[in-house]
Chain A
């Protein structure tokens, strides 16, 4: 295999491993629940992206066929990580925070996720 591709794949793998480790270590280490949300949703997503890029480069360097399937997983993870983070933040707000402990919401009076009781779509 070409030396350039070996260096590229090695760099991607090492960067990915370090970012994955940092993401999970931040989940253990950070103090506040809202801070803990940052580490896995950003650093770990980047780490998996690095592994997938390394996989793509490996398939390109090795075989007669090359594949860009892995970009699909990367795209999917990048699309779904903010949605997941939003849901987990909502869980935290509903479990641990009240109207008084949250910062002021501006002109609307209260945060939108706390107005669930006022709407009529309860079932």
Chain B
């Protein structure tokens, strides 16, 4: 039963990543591109944790933690670059 639920969640999050990729490529506003990239990071965390469940290990936790931190920092850096013209003033 868990196997089918994991497959279902894999499908949902993979479709989400594809939709975000479409939005990153073809959005007509730059705030939407930043938002779609941030959502892609979050969906990548979900996919990695799901892979950990499917493999039965907890070894992917550190990698997803690092992805979470890098996603936040890079989103803030992008937004700050658009707002002010540089990142660290």
Contacts and interface: CB of A to CB of B under 8 A. Distances in A.
Nearest to A89: B31
A28 B9 contact: no
Contacts of A36: 32, 35
A67 interface: yes
Contacts of A9: 2, 5, 53
A45 to B, nearest CB: 7
Interface string B57-79: 01001001100110010011001
Q: Using C-beta atoms within 8 Å of the partner chain, give the interface range for chain B.
A: 35 or more
A80 B72 CA distance: 7
A17 B8 contact: yes
B42 A62 contact: no
Interface string B38-55: 110011011001101100
A68 B44 CA distance: 20
Interface in A1-42: 1, 6-7, 9-10, 13-14, 16-18, 20-21, 23-25, 27-28, 33, 36-37, 40
* Chain A contact surface mostly: helix
A73 interface: yes
Contacts of B83: 87, 90-91, 94
29 contacts: A7-B1, A9-B5, A9-B53, A10-B1, A10-B4, A13-B2, A17-B9, A20-B13, A20-B16, A21-B12, A24-B19, A24-B39, A27-B19, A27-B20, A27-B23, A44-B43, A45-B42, A55-B58, A59-B58, A67-B58, A69-B65, A73-B61, A73-B68, A76-B65, A77-B42, A88-B34, A88-B75, A90-B79, A95-B31
Closest CB pairs A-B (n = 9): A17-B12, A24-B16, A87-B79, A17-B9, A13-B5, A40-B39, A92-B31, A10-B5, A80-B72
Interface of A: 1, 6-7, 9-10, 13-14, 16-18, 20-21, 23-25, 27-28, 33, 36-37, 40, 44-45, 47-48, 51-52, 54-55, 58-59, 62, 67, 69-70, 72-73, 76-77, 80, 83-84, 87-92, 94-96, 121, 123
